[in-house]
């Protein structure tokens, strides 16, 4: 299996710890990193890019010191190395206009409001990662036991059908 990065960005350490706890089941299959600011997130991404580890998913808060989360997600959508990553806004403070801006710029795949339900967050993350893997990974079989089995099986079936049409 290829190695992929999940990046969690929030200026509150307790939030990052909680997200890590909720996503612990994925640690065996994904590199999960935390950043307490956009600047720190950019450093983590630079290291991942250098090591050829693609960003599969980013969970990002909106209101943080320095650059805002939505602006960062829009920036990631414009960079070739991070364009394909699934982007989830995890916040309790984004206003309607800011959220619309992120959606309209195709920079937001899902919105989760704080406080969140841990099981629901895990479900959302697995769904977003499943989409990412289906769109970006050639060998889907290893992901069947990790991600959404039904969707992976459907993608495998669809791939076989498209090959038979050739």
Per-residue pLDDT of 66-103, as tens digits, reads: 888 888 998 999 999 999 999 998 877 656 676 666 66
Residues 33, 39, 45, 50, CA torsion sign: negative
Lateral strand order in the sheet of 55-60 = 31-35, 5-9, 55-60, 86-91, 110-113
The interaxial angle of helices 118-136 and 13-22, nearest 10 deg, is 70
Does residue 91 sit in helix, strand or coil? strand
Per-domain residue ranges for the chain?
A: 4-137
User: Is the CATH number 3.40.50.300 carried by domain 4-137?
Assistant: no
Indicate the pTM of the whole model. Answer: 0.89
Q: Tell me what the mean pLDDT of segment 145-151 comes to.
A: 94
Using only the alpha carbons of the chain, give its radius of gyration.
16
Span 38-73, pLDDT tens digits = 999 999 999 999 999 999 999 998 888 888 888 899
Looking at the predicted structure, is the pLDDT value of residue 165 above 90? no
115: DSSP letter: S
């Amino acid at each position: 299996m290829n190695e992929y990065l999940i990046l969690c960005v929030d200026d509150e350490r307790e939030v990052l710890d909680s997200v890590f706890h909720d996503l612990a089941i994925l640690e065996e299959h994904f590199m999960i990193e935390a950043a307490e600011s956009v600047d720190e997130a950019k450093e983590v991404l630079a290291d991942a890019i250098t090591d050829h580890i693609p960003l599969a998913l980013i969970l990002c808060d909106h209101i943080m010191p320095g650059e805002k989360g939505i602006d960062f997600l829009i920036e990631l959508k414009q960079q070739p190395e991070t364009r394909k990553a699934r982007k989830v806004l995890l916040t309790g403070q984004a206003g309607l206009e800011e959220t619309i801006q992120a959606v309209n710029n195709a920079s937001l795949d899902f919105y989760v409001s704080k406080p969140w339900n841990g099981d629901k967050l895990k479900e959302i993350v697995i769904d977003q990662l499943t989409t990412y893997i289906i769109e970006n990974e050639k060998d889907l079989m290893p992901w069947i036991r990790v991600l959404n089995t039904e969707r992976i099986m459907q993608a495998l079936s669809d791939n076989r059908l498209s090959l038979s049409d050739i």
